[in-house]
Structure formats: structure tokens, C-alpha cells
Amino acid sequence: MRNLAIHIFLLFSIFLSGCKIADISLETNNLTDQESELKATKLLQKVIRTQNFKKLDSINTYSFTASDHWPGLLGKMTKLWPDQNTNFKFNYNFNTFDGQAVFLDGEKEGDLIGLQSWNFYEKKRDELSILKKPNEEHQSHVFGLAVFHYFVELPYRLSNAPYKRYYGEAAIRDQEYDLVFVSWIDENPHPEYDQYIMYINRKTGLLDYCVYTLRDNKNPLTRNKYGSIAYVNYQDFDGFRVATEMPIMIDDGVLHTPLEDYFHKISIKDFSLGGFSESILYPIPGIEKQIDSK
């Protein structure tokens, strides 16, 4: 009963706070805009070097198996997939939104879903052909494919954003962090452009936390909220370092809430570079490649 009451309270809080556009911008420091942008850019480049995104860029394609767990009543109401705990095999093309996933268990076991230049396609386990489907009828799957892709490549993707600012320092769980704000216009909230605050570990040079908005989220309960992700247990796969656990929470929860109390969690294993032809990610003829654009 206590857990049920907590979930009901969370749902009510989300409803009340989800009616206006999320804004995670903070008061900036005493640096000039030019100094702030330069420092933010250098910090992002350090993360990119530390994870060795150059390795990923040189090969382009990569794959991994992953699970996505949405616990409790709140998870049941907001999950992206038919089941609350789902296992997948993902194939992605670096720095694009071209990728696909096969469900390894649950209601959709054996089904394949994919995105090609933001066009959704699907192949049911008992069908022979891949069919292009209307995005609006598969919004949660479109969103999920893109989010998994973006979260794995987040530092690299955000390094291409035109607006970057250094947001000072913070101490979290006995670690020291530099904060970098990233967006596509300025620090003001905009319904079409997301905001990010990255927490870069001063000792390791890795991204440990990120607070973000998700303007593309279509779920009415959470679309105007913001979220946060922790990057935990980095491992080296063929020279590229990737976090193998990514707990996600509503608002800035990962900064102060025990990470085991996640809203949902992505867990990655068997990450590998290359190993398949890039052409399998482009099954629909006649669609122009959009690379990193929407």
C-alpha cells in the first residue's frame, strides 16, 4: 500500500508540473560568453577523447544487446514497449538516426523495428517483408529507437550543438564535476529545442550525469517534464568506452536519489563495433539520408 501511495503521489505531481515547458537553465558564472563557450567546448572534447569516439567514427556501425526496465505502476503507465522489462538486439549507424532493434523476448519477441531517416519500419516475426509504417501510429517505438541511439552517443552529438556554456562546478557523491550547458539557440526554453546540463567528472574525464529536456516526448504525463540519466560502469569494447548501465529518473533525480530507485534503466552488454553491413539499416529504397538532422 505504501508503494502504491508513492506512485499515486508521483503521478499527481507529474500532472501538476507537466503543464508548462521545462526549463533547466541556471544562473551563469562570471565568465564572458566567449570564455564560457570556449571552456565548455574544451570539456566536451575531453569527454570525446576519453571515450575514444574517434574509434566509433572510423567504423560507423555498432551493435549491442540491451534491456530496458520500467518498474512499478508508474513504469507500467509510461513504458515505451509492450512489456515492462524488454531485451533487444540493436544495430546502429554512428551519428545518424538510422538503426533497428529486434525484440528478444516478451509480447513482440522476434519482431524487428527500425528508423531510416526518421521513417519507421517494421517486420513481424511471421512476415517476410519489411514494411514502412506511419510514425504517428508508432510514436513510442520511434522515440525509443532514437533515444537509445542518442544516449549512447550523447557527448559527441552535443559537441555539434551551436550553443554551449560553462556552468561552474558541483560535488556529487564525493566526486567533483564541471557542468556544461548545451542547446541549439540560447538558454531560454523553446518548444522545439532541448536543453542539456552535462556533469563531467574532473578525475576521469567521463560524463557521469546529464539533466535534459525531451521536447520530442509524446507521452502526455511526461512530455513537458525534464529528466536525468546516470552513466555507470564504463567498460572498454574494442577501444571505445561506453557506460553499461544507464538509470534514468524524472527531473534531476539521478543527482540526489539512490540510483537503484530509477524510473527506468537501460543496461547494455555485448557491445561490438562493425560486424554487419551498413546496408541492412537502409531497407527502404528512395529515402534520402538525413545523417544527424531531423
Angstrom distance (rounded) from CA 280 to CA 72: 36
Largest Cα–Cα separation, the chain: 61
pLDDT in tens, 3-59: 444 443 444 444 444 456 677 667 666 788 899 999 999 999 999 999 999 999 999
Q: Which residue has the cell 524524472?
A: 250
pLDDT in tens, 44-98: 999 999 999 999 999 999 999 999 999 999 999 999 999 999 999 999 999 999 9
Parse the chain into domains and list their residue ranges: 32-281
Q: Taken in order 105, 108, 111, 114, is the CA torsion positive or negative? A: negative
Quick check: 162 and 186 in contact, CB under 8 A? no
Quick check: 143 and 85 in contact, CB under 8 A? no
CATH H-level superfamily of 32-281? Lipoprotein localisation LolA/LolB/LppX (2.50.20.10)
What pLDDT score was predicted for residue 114?
Answer: 98
Q: Which three cell numbers stand for residue 158?
A: 552535443
Q: What is the mean pLDDT of residues 148-171?
A: 95
Angstrom distance (rounded) from CA 92 to CA 60: 8
